[in-house]
Amino acid sequence: MVTLAEVAQHAGVSASTVSYVLSGKRSISAETRQRVER
């Protein structure tokens, strides 16, 4: 299983940013969202 930290490292963002993208609780730029969702 992949962790938030691993996704964050691969996408070049923080683990909290990955969490925000997945939860939808914060406004995240489209570019950052795409990097995380890859």
The residues, ordered by sequence, that sit 6+ positions from 25 with a Cβ below 8 Å of its Cβ are none
User: What's the whole-model pTM score?
Assistant: 0.85
Residue boundaries of the structural domains of the chain:
4-37
pLDDT digits (tens, 9 = 90+) for 2-36: 999 999 999 999 999 999 999 998 999 999 999 99
